Amino acid sequence: MNEVGNRGLAWIAALAAAAFGAATLRAAGTVLFGPETAREAAGDYVPFVVWFNFLAGFLYLAGAAVLVLRRNWALPLAAGLAAATALVLVGFGVHVALGGAYEVRTAAALGVRTLFWAAMALVAAKISKR
């Protein structure tokens, strides 16, 4: 891909990461800090997953910035987010296996987040300035 194509891909990836980060911060922040009705609406949420998502949301925004700037550390950040999310998914699986309460959508969301950041790592590898 040429330089113009790389810049365009960087912007698309960064916008997706920023939107994902903002949505993550809003959703997790509402459960953690919002009214009781927000926690009730979340159902059987798993606190360590919600805290991870909330904190990771800030890294998603940082990821968006380094993607658009095409910094070399976009790749380790995106790969690290994918790996950390996969580890939380494993922890969630252990929680479920031990009989903990959960929402099915949590497993799906963690899977989507893991795949999203794995894809962002691939994009970062392609677009990073060498």
Span 3-32, average pLDDT: 95
As a whole number of angstroms, the distance between CA 68 and CA 87 comes to: 27
Give 60-109 pLDDT, tens digit per residue. Answer: 999 999 999 999 999 999 999 999 999 999 999 999 999 999 999 999 99
13/16 Cα distance (integer angstroms)? 5
Q: What is the CA radius of gyration of the chain?
A: 16
Place of tokens 């970062």: 124
DSSP the chain: --HHHHHHHHHHHHHHHHHHHHHHHHHHHHHHHS-HHHHHHH-S--HHHHHHHHHHHHHHHHHHHHHHHT-TTHHHHHHHHHHHHHHHHHHHHHHHHTT----HHHHHHHHHHHHHHHHHHHHHHHH---
The answer to whether 55 touches 81, Cβ cutoff 8 Å, is no
- pTM of this structure: 0.92
At 120 the pLDDT is: 97
pLDDT reading at 1 higher than 80: no
Does residue 55 have a pLDDT over 90?
Answer: yes
φ/ψ of 103, rounded to 5, equals -110, 135
